[in-house]
Amino acid sequence: MLPEPPAAYLTTTQSYPEDPKFQLQVARAARLHTLVAYVSAPGFFLACKTCQTAVPLSLIPFHFSSTKVHAYTRKDCAALLAAWDALYLHSQTTRLRTEADAVTWEHANIRYRPQPPEPLPGLAVHRGLQCQFTSQSTGNRCQYISRQPVKLRAHCYNTHNWGTEPKQGHDIRLAKGKTLPWERDVPCQRLHNNGKASALWRVSPASAEQPASQQPASQELPAGPSQSAGRTWADLEAQLCRGPSRVMDSC
């Protein structure tokens, strides 16, 4: 079912589904739908279907104009996002609107839990190394996880004094390097692959090992009418009065 259109599109002589401006917005929003998935509670964000990472709304034009993975123009991506904002933002709770929101989300959700949470749909499940020391600030097991042994070693040395003279409460075997103070093959997720909000958190191993067909699916964004959803990127560019598209038709 189509959402209620902006008031500017309502007229007394023409129903809004026939309004070409509204139809173009629906087509653009549907195009964004082919690139991202909506992750509901407790995530409430959009995730790139290709990269399997969270994408704050403000970074969508930048993310999908990346030459390494995607090949859209930043201006075109901004047009798709603007259409989705106008049609669906009011009905889709979205907590990650800026990069700062991603950092806030990370601080609020990455914390000690007696049982690891279920993996969030839309995000890749990685295998990492988790520190086995006890956090002096919380008294719980340290939550630091890394996929790189060199970073885990640096964390244990700088945070827990591992590798220096043995101190009270530390196993002398750790100082001599006979036992490595981390757990291997830990299922984990993160919002971003690098930079801000890229910390890893542990997830339930049972759920992480389920086949993809059995894992909870992220919600598909509203796609609008089927004829609009089926339009190609070249069709949309033609409507935008541009020349032939030189970008990829799919992400």
Per residue in 145-182, pLDDT tens?
A: 999 999 999 999 999 988 754 444 444 444 455 578 99
Quick one: tokens of 225? 């009418």
131: number of Cβ within 10 Å: 21
Confidence class for position 66, pLDDT limits 50, 70, 90: confident
Q: How many residues belong to the chain?
A: 251
The CA distance from 195 to 101, in Å, is 14
DSSP character string of 151-208:
HHHHHHHHHH-TTSS--TTS-HHHHTTSS-SEEEEEEEE-S-SSSTT---EE--HHHH
Compute the 3-state secondary structure of the chain and give helix, strand, coil in percent, each to the nearest 5. Answer: 35, 10, 55
Return contacts of 72-75, CB within 8 angstroms, 24+ apart.
Answer: 72/233, 72/247, 72/248, 73/247
- 235: Cβ contacts below 8 Å, ≥ 6 apart: 27
More reliable by pLDDT, 7 or 193: 193
What percentage of the chain reaches a pLDDT higher than 70? 68
At position 17, the amino acid (one-letter code) is: P
The CA distance from 91 to 166, in Å, is 56
Q: Are residues 57 and 46 in contact, defined by beta-carbon separation less than 8 angstroms?
A: yes
Quick one: tokens of 129? 């190394």
Give me the sign of the Cα torsion angle 132, 142, 196, 32: positive
* Partners of residue 46 on adjacent β-strands: 38
pLDDT exceeds 60 at position 54: yes
As a whole number, mean pLDDT of residues 86-99 equals: 87
pTM above 0.85, yes or no: no
Instruction: End-to-end CA distance of the chain: give it in Å, rounded.
Output: 26
The CA distance from 161 to 154, in Å, is 10
pLDDT exceeds 80 at position 229: no
Nearest one of 91, 11, 57, 27 to 233, comparing CA atoms: 27
Nearest one of 241, 191, 214, 246 to 79, comparing CA atoms: 241
